[in-house]
Amino acid sequence: MSSDRSMSSLVSAVHTPFRADGSLAPEVVATQAAFLAANGIRTVFVTGTTGECHSLTHDERRAMFDAWAEASPAHGMRVMAHVGGNVLEEARALARHAAARGLSAISALAPSYYRPATMDALVEWCAAIAAEAPDLPFYYYDIPSMTGVTLPIDRFLREAGARIPTLAGVKFTNLDLVSYRRSLDVAAGRYDLPWGTDEALLGALATGARGAVGSTYNWAPALYAGLMDAFARGDLAEAQQRQSTAVAMIDALSSVGFMGAAKALMTHLGVPVGPARAPLGNPSPSAIDALLQRLDALGFESWGARPVS
- pLDDT, tens digit, 9 for 90 and up, residues 57-101: 999 999 999 999 999 999 999 999 999 999 999 999 999 999 999
- pLDDT, tens digit, 9 for 90 and up, residues 154-188: 999 999 999 999 999 999 999 999 999 999 999 99
Q: For position 221, what pLDDT does the model report? A: 95
Assess contact for 287 and 200: CB atoms under 8 A: no
Q: What is the spatial distance between Cα 103 and Cα 101, in angstroms, rounded to a whole number?
A: 6
Which residues pair with residue 167 across a beta bridge?
Answer: 138
Q: For position 6, what pLDDT does the model report? A: 55
Region of residue 169 (phi > 0: left; psi between -120 and 50: alpha; otherwise: beta): left
- pLDDT, tens digit, 9 for 90 and up, residues 188-246: 999 999 999 999 999 999 999 999 999 999 999 999 999 999 999 999 999 999 999 99
- pLDDT, tens digit, 9 for 90 and up, residues 254-270: 999 999 999 999 999 99
The domain made up of 10-235 is a member of CATH 3.40.640.10: no
pTM, whole model, 2 decimals? 0.95
Residue 2 has pLDDT above 90, yes or no: no
Residue 1 has pLDDT above 70, yes or no: no
Q: For position 9, what pLDDT does the model report? A: 85
Q: For position 3, what pLDDT does the model report? A: 46
Q: For position 308, what pLDDT does the model report? A: 76
- pLDDT, tens digit, 9 for 90 and up, residues 12-56: 999 999 999 999 999 999 999 999 999 999 999 999 999 999 999
Q: What is the spatial distance between Cα 212 and Cα 120, in angstroms, rounded to a whole number?
A: 27
Residue 4 has pLDDT above 60, yes or no: no
| Extents of the domains making up the chain | 10-235
Q: Which residues are annotated as catalytic?
A: 141, 171
- pLDDT, tens digit, 9 for 90 and up, residues 260-306: 999 999 999 999 999 999 999 999 999 999 999 999 999 999 999 98
